[in-house]
Every structure is written in structure tokens, then in C-alpha cells.
Amino acid sequence: MPPGRVHLVVALRTEAQPLIDHFSMLPASSGRGFRSFANSDRGLALVLSGVGRAAAAAAVAHLARDDTDPAWLNIGIAGHRNLPIGAARLAHKVHCASSARSWYPPLVFEIPCPTATVRTVDRATRDFPTDDLYEMEAAGFYEIAARFAPHELVHSFKVVSDNRARPAETLTADSVGSLIGDSLETINALIEPLQRLSAELSERRVEPGGLERLLQASHFTTTQRRQLRRLLRRWSVVCPQVDAVDWVAFKALPDAGSVIASMQEHLEGVAPTFGPGG
């Protein structure tokens, strides 16, 4: 299975530094607009979005040029009326206060921490009127990331940095870094299943075996290419014991049209086999 990929979207360098260090990421040559980091062997990329919904959305779009079915994880700090500093939460609902829209990231894997509603606001708040986590990026992140990946692969993870007893003004760069650094175990436990889901999706899109060789052997129109891809996929399921390229060569089929017609006819005649039932 190809390795799964996870894209991390983080607002500030202070939040990102522990991740960059922990995952041994290096600066990536990512063009203008956003600073990004990556560790390709680990399948991880990170973009610094800056503060706010619009910035988070733009950062997702920036990183989404990569087309390898990545999962998306927004990581950052948030405020809550009474949760203790350092409490880690995965969003089970992302609510945008200004548009009143909500998203519900489906929780299909084992979740390593409690979950909560994350409320994205346009201005930092001190009074936390609802029992939600307050921050400024998740809604912008989610709305755009869910255009590039199924919702199951888009998540937002927050660590409580301030509450009514300890307002945000007391935060320092060091304390923000420590909050994220202290949650690395949980972050790892989130990245793992996300990588598995991303790999599963990529696997379904892998080109079927033999496609390139058959395309080289005859001239296929665009429609015929699509048909051939579909036929080869079916072939690999229905006749896994016969190499399709050898079969086509043995039949000495003269052109693309006859390759497609013959493969279709052959597959039409093969009944699926099911093992003994219960």
C-alpha cells in the first residue's frame, strides 16, 4: 500500500515548532505566500497559515496542490471557559460564529482524546459564552480542506491555552510551544490512523497493472483509455491469475478497438467464484 500522507495546518510558528522538531521536517520550497515544511519519508507536510479563517483557508489551498489524497489536520491552541490549560480536544463539530455554519468531522477511527465543539470566531474572546473551544482558524480550514478530501480525513485538534482563570494575555511563545509539545503523543495517535485512511484512498486510485504497456502498444483515444483502465481493474479482480498484457499479446489483437472488445467479451464470460458459504 502506498504511504499515507497528512497535511498539518498550523497558525503560528510557535505552535508549529515542536511539530517541526518532532517530525524532523525541513523547509519546503513551496513558492510564495506561505512557509511550509515537510518530511516526505514520513508523509508529512506542514504549512504556517497565520491567524484567522481566511488565512487558514488560503493555506489549505496552497498545500492542496499536492494531489496524493492527503488527510488534513489543523493543530493549534484554543480558549475555553473552564477546561484546564493543556487539555487536548479533537473537534467533533466545527462551528463558524460569523456564518453560523457547522461541520461534523466523522469520527471513524479510535480517538485518542476527548472531543468537543470548536467555535471559530473572528476576534479573540475572553468571556467564552458557550461550553465550546474558541479559536480563529478551524472553520476556514475545514471548509476548504473538505473540498480536497473526504470529511473523514479532515480534522481539527486543539489544546486549551487560556480560560477564565488564566486569560490569553499571560501566554508566551514558550508556553504555547510547550502546550503543543506536551500533546505530541496524542498528535501522533491522530496522525497514524489518518495516514492509514489516506493510504487506503490512494490505493483505490492506483493505476491498474499493465495499463502503461498496453497504452504503448497501440493508439488509444481518450475514451478508449478510460475504458481500458476500467477493464484492467475488473480484469485484476476477475482473472487475477492471467496477465492481461500477455493475454492481449497472445491474441495478437491489431488495434485499441479490438483490445477493448476482446477484453470485454472475455470478462463477460467469466462468472465470479465465491468460496464455500456458511
Partner 1 sequence: MIETIYIEDDVEAHPRARRLLDRFPAARVIPCGRYTEVFNPAAQSFRLQKENPALILARKRGNLVLEAPPELGIGEGPGFYFSHMLNCLYDCRYCFLQGMFRSAHYVLFVNFEDFEAAIDDTLTDGGEKPSYFFSGYDCDSLALESLSGFVERFVPFFAVRPGAVLELRTKSVAIRSLLAMTPSPNVVVAFSFTPAEAAAAIEHGAPRVGQRVRAAAELAAAGWPVGLRLDPLLWYDGWRAGYATLIDGLAAAIPAAAIHSASLGPLRFPSKMFQRIHRMYPEDALLSGPLARRDDFVSYSAAREAELVGFVEERLRRAFDDIAVFFFTPRAT
CB of 173 to partner 1, least distance (A): 33
112 vs 181, beta carbon nearer partner 1: 112
Residue from 169, 204, 216, 222 in contact with partner 1 (CB under 8 A): 204
111 vs 184, beta carbon nearer partner 1: 111
C-alpha cell at 56: 487558514
Task: Please name the residues in contact with 186: beta carbons below 8 A apart, sequence gap of 6 or more.
Answer: 88, 112, 113, 157
Residue from 66, 152, 192, 243 in contact with partner 1 (CB under 8 A): 152
Query: Applying CB under 8 A, does 274 fall inside the site for partner 1?
Result: yes
C-alpha cell at 137: 482558524
Task: Enumerate residues 82-141 that contact partner 1 by CB under 8 A.
Answer: 92-93, 102-104, 106-109, 114-115, 117
* Parallel, antiparallel or unpaired: strands 133-135 and 115-120: parallel
With contact defined as beta carbons under 8 Å apart, do 119 and 100 qualify?
Answer: no
Query: Applying CB under 8 A, does 197 fall inside the site for partner 1?
Result: yes
Query: Applying CB under 8 A, does 150 fall inside the site for partner 1?
Result: yes
CB of 120 to partner 1, least distance (A): 16
Query: Applying CB under 8 A, does 42 fall inside the site for partner 1?
Result: no
Task: Enumerate residues 2-21 that contact partner 1 by CB under 8 A.
Answer: none
Query: Applying CB under 8 A, does 271 fall inside the site for partner 1?
Result: yes
Query: Applying CB under 8 A, does 192 fall inside the site for partner 1?
Result: no
Name the site residues for partner 1 (rule: CB under 8 A): 92-93, 102-104, 106-109, 114-115, 117, 146-147, 149-153, 197, 200-201, 204, 233-234, 237-238, 267-278
